[in-house]
Amino acid sequence: MNYLKKVVIVFYCLFSGGLYAQQHPSIMLTKANVDAVREGVELYPLLKTSYQEIKQQADVAIKQAINVPVPADGGGGVTHEQHKKNYNTILNCGVAYQLSKDIKYANYVKDMLLAYAAQYQKWPLHPKRKENHQGGKIFWQALNDCVWQVYTIQGYDMVYDAIAPKDRATIENKLFMPILKFLTVDCYTTFNKIHNHGTWNVAAVGMTGYVLNKPEYVEMALKGSKKDGKAGYLAQIDQLFSPDGYYMEGPYYQRYALLPFVLFAKAINNYQPNLKIFEYRDQLLAKAINTSLQLTYTDGTFFPINDAIKDKTYETIELVYGLNLAYADIKPEAFLLDVAQKQKKVIVSDAGLKVAKAIAEGQSQPFKYLSQWIKDGGNGNEGGLGILRSGSNQDQQCLLLKAASQGMGHGHFDRLNILYYDNNGEVFFDYGASRFINIETKRGGHYLPENNSWAKQTVAHNTLVVDQQSHYHAKVSEAEKYNPDLIHFSAEPNMQIVSASENHAYPGVKMLRTAALIKIEGAHKDLLVDIFRVEANKEHQYDLPFWYKGQLVDASFKVEAYKNNLQALGNNYGYQHIWLNAQNSLKDQSGFVSILNNKRFYTTHFTSDKLLNVKMLSIGANDPEMSLTEGKAFMLSSQANASEQTFVSITETHGNIDPVNETVESAYSQLRNLKLISSDQKKAIISFSYKNVAYRYEIDYQAKQNFARLIQENKF
């Protein structure tokens, strides 16, 4: 069944019934389940602590005078934070009222909403709004107004029955209806955008439409202002996610977008179960939730590709909602409970009850991290992410190859970038975004200028830079036109490989990267084998940086760092933000560097068919406000221009130090004699030895079967 046909059916079902059966509450917590949830709070520890936290926050909140300030400040400022606090209070008090039946919580919500209702219509567009960015009324951007409404309408739904009809009328007519108008009319463009801002907007409008019994708004939320299905929630599900549930902007925004998607879905499912929204597009929402979890490393952090605030983990509230609904309403996978335990909370709701109960009954199993190719693009044909994992959740090697589409304005110019994780942390890292979110003193908490000049640029990533320029000259419009292509993905336990190409980032230049995790006899950890081939119609200069965590402890060459007069590496495309600490033009074809990171050693052996200059780099030049954070790289740089070149590296993960007991083990890599035997469009062949055994590793780019082979040659 194609999507269009589905959409037609959906619309038929949707508007054949007129007004909805009204019962409150009816979103995350439903009237029929309130008693069960109340009992569950006594029985199931995770539900109990989750409720205690909410009730405690509600109790603290209602002791304070209601504070609805005239909107004035940008992100992180006083009025901004107060309005954020208010929507949390409204929701917390709503839950506390439902479970405790204590009217004081409902009254506090009523009074606060009346305070908003008394002012809202007088507020102009926010004074701190930014040009070319839809301003809100409560917050500097309309996006936050939508978030406010998504939270608030749930709280209102919970206390609805406890508010006198007259007050409800005031709140609805002077606050919610004007908000609906603002979000659909004033913010018309955003409302109809296929974008996460649009999702928050349609969710706010749709959920409000259900609670206020305004089918007109629900219909617009589902199929756009024109009700033609070209915009709205269903169009967003169709277009923003790949068939694998990947959201094109990347994991950080996937997480953010997820909350309105699943909350609105839950509301739809409750009010109009016949729509079977969770089944829509082959269970797309379930895939989106699951893929969000698969886009994390074992420490819970999301892969920080594209604009991303690092330190963000699956403990974030969006994933708590997502996981609870996935388990309770879609498919009760026992491994989801493992993550729920790490989240340390559930939503106090019908879904949270099921999760907490299952955990209390001991049903939890370790989360199943997968090696997988996650397709990007509405039709799944716009590249994707290759994720290779090896080892237990306690000590997992993880390699990510980014071969996804640009991801709109938040995308980085980092085609074929790799990230490498091990030992519960980053080894080869992505800088993420340059932003101190919500910290007013750092440019109002917005993205910093360095986000464009540094974080998005190619050289800030672990991928190839040609002629010291960024992919697509760092132009979104150009980059949006093309995507990398998957060449091969396989996840055999002994040899996991992902290979992808990118042929448009530079005119006339073809790039092909094949990264693998390979088990080898006598090694405790898989070898990370990386072959990056570039081929051009004329000669260029090539740079391949590896941004690493840790401390340099060894190298095959004498590192002679500049002692004074440190210079920036270049003038543009991010190079202006890099200090050149050392450069070593190697006379040998091969070499290595050893890094000590979080008490473990990582030795990267490298070679190429042309001579290399190894540059040692650190972040920080041309940063007058000292906004950039620390970072170091070694960069393999071609000594002379060439029309084609292949960069080979094998990173061995080995040994450890124990600073408490002052011991060290396996400080030296056992890999030797790395050589590039041949590299052309069809094949790459390298050789190396490990613990006195010689190996040959061959890639046949055109093979479907036996794409790569590791051949043991002899012992010597």
* Minimum CB–partner distance for residue 38 and its own copies (Å): 26
Catalytic-role residue among 410, 461, 488, 504: 410
Binding segment for its own copies among 151-159, 267-275, 516-524, 616-624 (CB under 8 A)?
A: 616-624
- The nearer residue to its own copies, 558 or 704, going by C-beta atoms, is 558
Residue in the block written with tokens 């910093």: 448
Beta bridge partners of 524: none
CB 551 within 8 A of CB 597: yes
Q: Does 441 bind its own copies (CB under 8 A)?
A: yes
The tokens describing 477, both together, are: 């419009």
Residue 618 is a binding residue for its own copies (CB under 8 A): yes
Which residue lies nearer to its own copies by CB, 94 or 550?
A: 550
**Residue 522 interacts with its own copies (CB under 8 A)?**
no
Question: Nearer to its own copies by C-beta: 39 or 625?
Answer: 625
Backbone torsions φ then ψ of 209, nearest 5 degrees: -60, -45
State the minimum distance, in angstroms, from the CB of residue 420 to its own copies.
21
Q: Which stretch binds its own copies (CB under 8 A): 37-45, 156-164, 404-412, 437-445?
A: 437-445
Residue 76 found at the interface with its own copies (CB under 8 A): yes
Residue appearing with tokens 């940063």: 623
671-679 β-sheet, strand order = 671-679, 683-690, 693-700, 708-715
* Closest distance to its own copies from the beta carbon of 48 (Å): 21
Q: Which one, 189 or 567, has the nearer CB to its own copies?
A: 567
Provide the Cα torsion 239, 240, 246, 248; round to 10°: 120
**Residue 440 or residue 478: which is nearer to its own copies going by CB?**
440
- The reply to whether 692 sits near its own copies by the rule CB under 8 A is no
Selected binder of its own copies within 608, 620, 636, 651 (CB under 8 A): 620
Residues in the chain: 716
Q: Does 608 participate in binding its own copies (rule CB under 8 A)?
A: no
Distance CA 618, CA 69 (A): 44
Q: In this structure, which amino acid lies at residue 662?
A: E
Per CB under 8 A, does 554 bind its own copies?
yes
Active site annotation includes 210:
no
Q: Is there binding between residue 425 and its own copies (CB under 8 A)?
A: no
Which CB atom, from 57 or from 496, has the smaller least distance to its own copies? 57
Q: Which of 596, 617, 633, 650 binds its own copies (CB under 8 A)?
A: 596
The one among 452, 494, 567, 692 contacting its own copies by CB under 8 A: 567
Among 126, 129, 137, 312, binds its own copies (CB under 8 A): 312
Select the span of 267-275, 404-412, 498-506, 552-560 touching its own copies (CB under 8 A).
552-560
Peptide bond into 25 cis (omega under 30): yes
State the chain's maximal CA–CA distance in angstroms. 90
* Token pair recorded at residue 58: 């509600």
Choice between 48 and 310, CB closer to its own copies:
310
Measured CA distances, 333 to 17, 280, 323, 337, 355 (Å): 34, 19, 10, 8, 10
Which residue has tokens 């506090």? 108
The residue from 663, 705, 715, 716 that contacts its own copies (CB under 8 A) is 663
Asked if 697 contacts 514 with a C-beta cutoff of 8 angstroms, the reply is no
* Closest to 423 (Cα-Cα) out of 549, 554, 290, 250: 549
Q: Does 60 bind its own copies (CB under 8 A)?
A: no
Minimum distance of its own copies from residue 321's CB (angstroms): 13
Of the candidate spans 539-547, 560-568, 684-692, 699-707, the one that interacts with its own copies by CB under 8 A turns out to be 560-568
Q: Any alpha helices (H) in 160-279, and if so which ranges?
A: 165-171, 177-181, 188-191, 196-212, 215-223, 233-240, 251-271
Is 488 annotated as catalytic? no
Can you tell me the distance from the alpha carbon of 476 to that of 381, in angstroms, rounded to the nearest whole number?
A: 19
CA 481 to each of CA 408, 472, 503: distance values in angstroms, whole numbers, following the listed order: 11, 10, 12
**Binding track, positions 260-299, relative to its own copies; x by CB under 8 A:** ----------------------------------------
Q: Are 69 and 127 in contact (CB under 8 A)?
A: no
Strand, helix or coil at 485? strand
The answer to whether the CB of 550 falls within 8 A of the CB of 630 is no
d(CA 266, CA 207): 10
**Tally of CB atoms within 10 A around 564:** 4
Task: Decide: is 315 part of the binding site for its own copies (CB under 8 A).
Answer: yes
Would you count residue 313 as binding its own copies (CB under 8 A)?
yes
Q: How far are the Cα atoms of 145, 292, 344 from residue 341, in angstroms, in the given order?
A: 31, 17, 5
Count interface residues toward its own copies (CB under 8 A).
57
Q: Which one of 39, 311, 361, 539 is in contact with its own copies (CB under 8 A)? A: 311
**CB-wise, 113 or 448, nearer to its own copies?**
448
Range in contact with its own copies (rule: CB under 8 A) among 243-251, 407-415, 431-439, 448-456: 431-439
| Measured distance CA(376)–CA(378) in Å, rounded | 7
Q: Which is nearer to its own copies, 65 or 660 (CB)?
A: 660
Beta bridge partners of 595: 552, 602
For residues 409 and 401, the answer to whether their CB atoms sit within 8 Å is no
Spatial distance between the Cα atoms of 685 and 199, rounded to a whole number of angstroms:
48
Contact between 167 and its own copies per CB under 8 A: no
Give least dist CB 200 to its own copies, A: 14
Instruction: Output the CA–CA distances (angstroms, integers) from residue 449 to 74, 334, 439, 474, in the order listed.
Output: 17, 44, 15, 14
Binding characters for its own copies, 121-160, by CB under 8 A (x = yes): ----------------------------------------
The catalytic residue among 51, 210, 253, 256 is 253
Binding residues vs its own copies (CB under 8 A)? 76, 81, 84, 309-313, 315-317, 436-442, 445, 551-554, 559-561, 563-568, 579, 581-582, 594, 596, 616, 618, 620-626, 629-630, 657, 659-665, 667
> Which residues are catalytically annotated?
253, 410
